[in-house]
Chain A
Amino acid sequence: NAGVTQTPKFQVLKTGQSMTLQCAQDMNHEYMSWYRQDPGMGLRLIHYSVGAGITDQGEVPNGYNVSRSTTEDFPLRLLSAAPSQTSVYFCASSRERGAYNEQFFGPGTRLTVL
């Protein structure tokens, strides 16, 4: 199993540009989520999905969109990039919705917005 994969690994955008961060998992996990990691702030939840066709907002959803058309894929779209979105983005997945299931993380995408 490849686990959770993310592309690209690095990206530089100009303010106002849009882009999609890709995330895929091959573990047949129902639950997937996107986090951003900023220094000293841990990881903050952006959006999550409990299954195909179902998404919901996390702690910091503004400026981001998600969709979940398949169990495997959970792309994150930046609509109009801003310097405040410079961060490292992690996708994660876990089995079912149970609170006791640990999450598996992808390697991350480092995004810089100029």
Chain B
Amino acid sequence: AQSVAQPEDQVNVAEGNPLTVKCTYSVSGNPYLFWYVQYPNRGLQFLLKYITGDNLVKGSYGFEAEFNKSQTSFHLKKPSALVSDSALYFCAVKAAGNKLTFGGGTRVLVKP
């Protein structure tokens, strides 16, 4: 069975500082990895995905993520966080079929 772990329930960062949200996964076969963001009282919005190729993936709003096969990780990063980045972030993995498995989510709070 596939699974995703987001070890931090909340990440606090000062505006302008780098932001990292951690994600590790377990899956049989090649993983397809995704990051989604959820703003209050809204549905999830797609940020970026890793399918194959370059391990560094760039996505929306200045976010990027690095795929590390040996560590089975797919950490989300942003070089300089904004207050508007405060939201709930979900990592997700797909393998066989089209069933998407989500992590428990990490709340990001960016303080001015």
Which chain A residue shows the least CB distance to B103? A42
Measured between beta carbons, the chain A residues less than 8 angstroms from B44 are 43, 90, 92, 103, 105
Residues of B within 8 Å of A, CB-based: how many?
26
B43 within 8 A of A: yes
B105 to chain A, nearest CB (A): 6
Measured between beta carbons, the chain B residues less than 8 angstroms from A35 are 102
Q: A31-B98, A42-B90, A48-B98 are in contact. Are A105 and B104 (CB under 8 A)?
A: no
A99 within 8 A of B: yes
Q: Which bucket holds chain A's interface residue count?
A: 20 to 34
Bound Cα distance from A21 to B104, whole angstroms: 24
Bound Cα distance from A100 to B96, whole angstroms: 11
Bound Cα distance from A3 to B35, whole angstroms: 19
The answer to whether A103 and B104 touch across the interface, beta carbons within 8 angstroms, is: no
Bound Cα distance from A99 to B33, whole angstroms: 10
Measured between beta carbons, the chain B residues less than 8 angstroms from A31 are 98
Measured between beta carbons, the chain B residues less than 8 angstroms from A107 are 41-43
A53 within 8 A of B: no
The answer to whether B46 and A50 touch across the interface, beta carbons within 8 angstroms, is: no
A residues lining the B interface (CB < 8 Å): 4, 31, 33, 35, 40-45, 48, 50, 58, 90, 92, 94, 97-108
Q: Apart from A105-B36, A105-B44, A106-B43, list 8 A-B contacts with CB within 8 A.
A: A42-B103, A48-B98, A90-B43, A99-B32, A99-B96, A102-B49, A103-B100, A105-B43
